[in-house]
Structure 1
Amino acid sequence: MNITVNGESADIAEQVSISDLLTIRNVKMPDMVSVERNGEMVDRSAFGETFLAGGDKIEFLYFMGGGNGSERTTRCN
């Protein structure tokens, strides 16, 4: 069946869960990825029991922090 993953068309077998898809796509650190299916966030606890359907649109979302914690302050007199 055909789905869209991060904006790209992908052919996958039937009965593939989100957990399976993370493995198939070789996602590094899958515990750090959030998944959106057809515009709805999927709870991480449901990854193994949420099976994909033809036409699904899947987005892998990676949340990253950054910066060094310093802030620039400008004083107005």
Structure 2
Amino acid sequence: MFVTVNGETRELPAGATIANVVASLGVSSLGGSPSEGPGGRGVAVALAGAVVPRSAWAGTQLCDGARVEVLAATQGG
């Protein structure tokens, strides 16, 4: 299936979840610990414009044509 992630079309296997997308992007956490896994603190995901709670990432399967935005907070001044 094909999914748009941050404006880029990607081919993913059927049954892929938001957690799979975050892991594949290698998004690092902001001040999180390695035990939090991919997409620790400071990472947000929207599916079709709606924010998906982190607790739902592993259970939210994507469908062909889905639009996903993955945002990571950065520190700076």
TM-score category (smaller protein): 0.7 to 0.9
Letter in 2 for 1:44: R
RMSD, aligned α-carbons: 1.3
Partner of 2:54: 44
Greater C-alpha radius of gyration: 1
- Structure 2 length as normaliser, TM-score? 0.77
- Structure 1 length as normaliser, TM-score? 0.77
**Identity percentage of aligned residues:** 33
What CA distance in whole angstroms lies between the structure 2 residues aligned with 1:25 and 1:62? 11
Q: 1:54 aligns with which of 56, 60, 64?
A: 64
Large movers: runs of 4+ above 6 Å: none
Q: CA deviation at 1:61?
A: 1.3
Unaligned runs of 5+ in 1: 68-77
